[in-house]
Amino acid sequence: MTRITVDHVSKQYKLSSDQEPINAVNDVTLQIKSGEGVAILGPSGSGKTTLLRLIAGLEMPDSGAVYYDDEALTQIAENERNIGMVFQEYALIPHWQAQRNIGFFLRLRHRENEVPAHVRRVSQITGVGLDHLLGRFPKQLSGGEKQRVAIARAFARDLNILLFDEPFANLDAKFRATARLELRRLLNEFSVTSVIVTHDQHEAAALSERIILMRDGQIEQLGPYEHLLHDPDNLFVASFIGSPQYNFFQGVIKDGHWQNAVFGSMKLPVSVADGTPVTMAIRLEYIDVGEEGFPARVESTTPYFTERYILAEVSSGETSWQVQLPVDSTIHPGDYIHCQFDPDEMLFFHSTKEYRIA
């Protein structure tokens, strides 16, 4: 197991001399505890893969440094880093059967005889037999089977760090859920520091203890999923984390109060200068639908049977928001409902600068 330190690391890509360079990773500092699992989450192009490649030593930073425990990564010989990697595209050697692919790293060290024991252990933990796949070439494997082989290969070696880049992105939804569960079991059983890149927040929440949420090469917030969900630092975090999303209400400060079309005039817990544009955010769970509160027209309803609720889009004038109705609700589009918003659960953000106000 290894503690990973990323210390003020930046990486630029220059496409051509007449174009502005891209700050793929921009002054990122973080520490991953020995044995911890973290996820790098963020939209496409936010720098997730670049940060992972910097952590892996596949990319050299322009400035800053990566450390494994107390040693600079550049000072550690490649064959002593003991990193297992799994990519979206499997990266299996096409003319090798699965058994040989899995044994790749052990063969390099003339320890091929350990491969069967590794395969048995991985199979035992995941509950998925691999024996019937071992004699097949990659082209004879389904996407899901290829990824099982690639994951078995990542574990079949001396292992300090495991790195995954969108490992399940090519799999269909049903198989993704199974594959995620198998990987969760492996991570529980092997003592290893892991970093998983994903743009899927459910995957991030399931496979990590802490989430690094990135945008434009920088960390927007780092912490457990529930923390990012309930205590977002800024509007970007609030709009990215949580599905369904937060509801947002635009307003402006006047006479020291927040003014909004639905809510009228509200006192904020902190004082904010008049004229400041302020966005209120509240999760659906904290809006009660009943006899009292603000009236709203139901625009559309979408049932979520397994989660046992109906998602309703409602509106008042130009403002719309979402609420959750019981799965057996008889409310239809065109009906009017009343919404009560829990004032203790309202978050306030500067609308343009995005930071949290209260």
Measure the CA–CA gap between 217 and 296, rounded to whole angstroms.
40
- Choices 40-48, 105-113, 182-190, 249-257; region in contact with ligand ADP by CB under 6 A: 40-48
Residue from 49, 97, 198, 221 in contact with Mg ion (CB under 5 A): 49
Helices (H), 190-295: 201-207, 225-230, 235-240
Place of tokens 């395969």: 119
> Residue 67: in which H helix or E strand, if any?
strand 63-68
Q: Which two tokens stand for residue 189?
A: 């059983």
- Where does this chain touch ligand ADP (CB under 6 A) — which range of 47-55, 283-291, 312-320, 347-355? 47-55
- Rounded Cα distance between 51 and 158, Å, is 23
- Strand partners of residue 341: 287
Residue 248: strand, helix, or coil: strand
Q: Does an H or E element contain 252, and which?
A: strand 247-254
Size of the site for Mg ion (CB under 5 A): 2
- By CB under 6 A, name the one of 30, 33, 45, 263 that touches ligand ADP: 45
Is the Cβ of residue 44 or residue 243 nearer to Mg ion in the bound state?
A: 44
Instruction: Give the three-state DSSP class for 240.
Output: helix
Minimum distance of Mg ion from residue 209's CB (angstroms): 21
193 near ligand ADP (CB under 6 A): no
Q: Of 40-48, 92-100, 265-273, 283-291, which part binds Mg ion (CB under 5 A)?
A: 40-48
Taking the C-alpha atoms of residue 12 and residue 2, their distance in angstroms, rounded to an integer, is: 27
Query: Shortest approach of ligand ADP to residue 170 CB, angstroms?
Result: 15
210 binds, among Mg ion, ligand ADP, none (CB under 5 to 8 A by kind): none
50 binds ligand ADP (CB under 6 A): yes
Please tell me whether residue 140 adopts helix, strand or coil conformation.
Answer: helix
Residue closer to Mg ion by CB (options 67, 164) is: 164
6 binds, among ligand ADP, Mg ion, none (CB under 5 to 8 A by kind): none
Q: Which residues bind Mg ion (CB under 5 A)?
A: 48-49
Q: Which residues bind ligand ADP (CB under 6 A)?
A: 13, 15, 22, 24, 42, 44-50
